[in-house]
Structure 1
Amino acid sequence: MTTATSLDQAFLADFHDTYQFGATPANGVDRQAGTREDGQIRDWFRERAIAAGMEVRVDSVGNLFALYNWDPSLNHVFLGSHLDSQPLGGRFDGCYGVIAALHAAQEINARVQAGELEPVHNLAVVDWFNEEGARFQPSIMGSSVVAGSMDRDKILATKDSKGISVKEALEDIGYLGTDVAPIPTAYAEIHIEQGRLLERHKTEIGAVTQSWYTQKLLVTVNGEQSHTGATYMADRHDALAAAAEIVLKTEAVVDTFPAEEIVTSVGQLTVEPNSPIVVPRQVNMVVDLRAHLRSQVEEARTRLLEQFKEIEARRHLTVLAQDYDIRDHQHYPLEGIELTEKAAAEAGQSCMRIETMAGHDSVPMNRIVPTVMVFVPSVDGVSHCEREFTRDEDLVAGVKVLAEIASKLVSGSLDAVEPGEAEL
């Protein structure tokens, strides 16, 4: 078995090495799904996996697997996350989970080879394709296809803003695979929190209990195109001015709910014709609603739709809102939560139960196999930007906890557990 010191050093060396792929001037990364930079880090990961004695597979939607096949007749425990990033994103989101999984898997393999562990399952490390949903929408594509909640052919046909399809992008970087994906028996994912609760409570490990209820609205504002210099203000039907009101009302709707129980945003907006001397005729945007309770999202949605009607009538244009990407709560199995708590205690780390406000690949996977989700602290709770940061000591602590979780999973500790059965 490897020593803690060698495991720590090897992990940190590999993790810090990933910064080079898509590096930005402000110490972040820009490594969107299916881009050259995404292909480069995947090539790097493949080389590291092969050097560690693992079999590498790529399935037909671009998921990348590195396998320890101790017994070819057995299915696999999955460990993983994603290597793609947001535009001008952080170095830790997703990438940490993949590299942590790679090193935890090597630790488990060392125990198996030393006769210290008798596995009843094989082990797979996975880099899921397009978790972020930046270049291609929706997010969490690769894991959702494996989980059966998204259609593979529809995903492959999805196009980015330049008209390039997922299939074409994967072909371009050499990751449109033909391999059969391994069959999962359980899944564990470690991730930076992307929030401030662990830091606030001075706690090192988060045992995730459930995801927040999430839904998006595709909103289209249709006004009328006209000349910015020759059209009187009273005669305008400015789609962008109406959209600006919608953005502010989306932000303000949270004020009627308890603090820190709901978040809203407009994260994507396109304007037509986007000319400096034309009053905009159309704006397309995505309204994102997430809350601790489903009822809170539904109430916020109802209030916003009523406000959209008022804007529509007052400005003499149309506002169309379509429900999109609705994701119900996912409750992680209680046995997996307790497994995280025990693993943290064995590693000498403090632990608390916590919810995830963000979506992760663990959410669709939790629908088909018992799933464990683990958090490590994020400094200042910052994420999806170049300032994102987690301390080395917290990263290393997470790898140790993940290795202990993995050892229990390959030993069959959650085999009798149903996926997502806990109601906490």
Structure 2
Amino acid sequence: MSIADSFLKDFHHVATIGATEHRGVERQAATEKDRETRDWFVAFAKERGWRVDVDGVGNIFATVEFVPGAPAVLTGSHLDSQPRAGRFDGAYGVLASLHAAAEIERRVRAGELQPNYNLVVVDWFNEEGSRFAPSIMGSSVYTGLMDREEILAVRDLEGTSVREALDGIGYLGTGEGPRELAGYAEIHIEQGRILEREGIELGAVDSSWYTQKIDVEVLGEQSHTGATAMADRRDALVAAAQIILMARDICAEFPAESLVSSVGQMTVEPNSPIVVNSRVHLVADLRANDPAIVQQARDTLMERFQEVAKREDVEVVARDFDIRPNRYFPQEGIELSERVAKDLGFSIRRIQTMAGHDTVPLNTATPTVMLFVPSVDGVSHCEREFTKDEDMVNGLRGLTGVISEMLTGALDGVTYPGTAPEGSGSGSASGEGR
């Protein structure tokens, strides 16, 4: 069976784990369905004789050893998903990395490639951040951007901690991933329309947008919806509704498409049909390529939230949360992707990511390369998410080529993270989001 056929067979099989009725998946972090995909990952590695390690925050590392004691090139993505999500986001990158590693091992054993480094495939824990916030947990702990003990203490809406959830599915490990790295490579669906619209086969990610979230708690007073006079109500949900609209409408005050913002999660208490709600918790998400735009929007919203508090006689407690600066990927890695694409006969263009990916924290620890493949209609984080088989296979071939070059030292001595191109932003933004 060819590498393409083997990859597609495995990809479509893994998509049956946690499958939803409209061909999506639901495998939120550290749930039973997440465990099933993790078990599949481990079995794939062990069948090939690769060593498997699970670290203390649930990241899984499968090591293909070529040079004992040498640093490692890491490649991978994540297997967890959003609720009722698409089957491509994250999982494509993990499956492509596993099959790229298997093909590279074949080439090494056949004497076609002489690596300087070992190769490690990783499934990062809780990249999505839907069950446990914030997102990009596993890779951020691995790179030292988040504290492991603090993350293990994070609880979901049901009160279960990360530690308890990982222990419950058997993936609270005691091992560790490679501590000396020669680079990291990841491939992902674009989750935007640019590659599809322009008919381009691969995207070389050159930078990520500035991101910040605002954690908002609205505190009113619980009372009877029928018996409480309108003038006496301190309705937290009414105030929260205004805040949600403010978070959306702020984008219209800046140049078109320069800022995106939304509220994606909200909890309401006591959430009874005959009770005025006393508490609402929500998270607003602001993103722009220019940090000054995010800061200005953030400051304006903070002022307006307090105006709502005064008008509705409630308390609004808002705090900054999960702030991520722009990250620039090393120029040498971008050029490597372009050379590999040219050798394979693929079209490629430079592209930004508006979303967070595991490449963002990894880029602070080692030279990092990220590739995109087209997404049909740019739709993601929903069951309609789709990427064609041929595009996935093209991406697999591109990733295999990039990793092969990295294993032979293509990014040796490269400074990370990269820096912004002089005088401009980088490639066009993709309409994706995490």
Distance in 1, Cα, partners of 2:254 & 2:343:
39
Distance 2:90 2:264 in 1: 20
**Displacement of 1:309:** 2.0
User: Shift of residue 92 of structure 1?
Assistant: 0.2
Alignment partner, residue 267 of structure 1: 264
Task: Provide the alpha-carbon RMSD of the alignment.
Answer: 1.1
Q: What amino acid sits opposite 1:107 in the alignment?
A: E
Shift in Å at residue 385 of structure 1?
0.7
CA distance in 1, matches of 2:151, 2:105: 34
Give the Å deviation of 1:422.
Answer: 2.5
State which of 208, 229, 233 in structure 2 corresponds to 1:232.
Answer: 229
| C-alpha distance in 2 between matches for 1:277 and 1:368 | 53
| C-alpha distance in 2 between matches for 1:350 and 1:357 | 22
Answering whether residue 413 of structure 2 is matched by residue 416 of structure 1, we say yes
Of the candidates 402, 405, 409, which is equivalent to residue 405 of structure 1?
402
Q: 1: distance between equivalents of 2:189 and 2:93? A: 8
Q: Which residue of 2 aligns with 1:204?
A: 201
- Cα distance between partner residues in 2 of 1:253 and 1:52: 53
Query: How does the TM-score come out when normalised to structure 1?
Result: 0.97
Letter in 2 for 1:336: G
- The AA in structure 2 aligned to 1:66 is A
Q: Distance in 2 between matches of 1:276 and 1:101?
A: 49
1:160-200: CA deviations, max 9, x gaps? 11221111111111111112321222000100111111122
Equivalent residue number for residue 114 of structure 1: 110
Q: How does 1:159-170 map to 2 (within 5 A)?
A: 159-170=155-166
More divergent stretch after superposition (396-405 vs 302-311): 302-311
Residue matched to 2:83: 87
SS for the counterpart of 1:20 is coil
Paired residue type of 1:331 = Y
Q: Deviations over 1:103-154 (max 9, x none)?
A: 1111111111111111111000000011011111111111111100011111
Q: For structure 1, which runs of at least 5 residues remain unmatched after alignment?
A: none
Task: Say yes or no: does 1:388 pair with 2:385.
Answer: yes
Is 1:69–2:61 an aligned residue pair? no
> 1:59 aligns to what?
55
Could you tell me which residue of structure 1 aligns to residue 374 of structure 2?
Answer: 377
Task: Note the C-alpha offset of 1:397.
Answer: 0.3
1:47 is matched with 43
Q: Which residue of 1 aligns with 2:326?
A: 329
1:13 alignment counterpart: 9
Secondary structure of the equivalent of 1:180?
coil
**3-state DSSP of counterpart to 1:216:** strand
Could you tell me the percent identity over the aligned residues? 57
Partner residue of 2:276?
Answer: 279
User: 2-side partners of 1:319 and 1:166: how far apart?
Assistant: 28
Larger displacement relative to structure 2 (378-387 or 253-262): 253-262
Please give the alpha-carbon distance, in whole angstroms, between the structure 2 residues aligned to 1:180 and 1:310: 49
Paired with 2:44 and 2:269, the residues of 1 have a C-alpha distance of 46
Instruction: Give the partner amino acid of 1:376.
Output: V
Match of 1:217 in 2: 214
After superposition, what is the alpha-carbon deviation per residue over 1:224-271, rounded to whole angstroms, capped at 9, x for unaligned?
211100112222111101110111111111112222221101011111
**Corresponding residue to 2:144 among 128, 140, 148:** 148
Shift of 1:53: 2.9
Q: Work out the CA distance in 2 between the residues paired with 1:358 and 1:159.
A: 24
| Stretches (4+) displaced over 3 A | none
- Measure, in 2, the Cα distance between the counterparts of 1:154 and 1:314: 37
Report the number of matched residues.
420
Deviation at residue 46 of structure 1 after TM alignment: 1.0
What per-residue deviation string (whole Å, max 9, x for no partner) do you get for residues 341-377 of structure 1?
Answer: 1111112111111000110000000001000011111
TM-score computed with the length of structure 2 as normaliser: 0.95
Q: Equivalents in 2 of 1:111, 1:261: separation in Å?
A: 45
Amino acid at match of 2:285: D
Matched residue SS, 2:327: coil
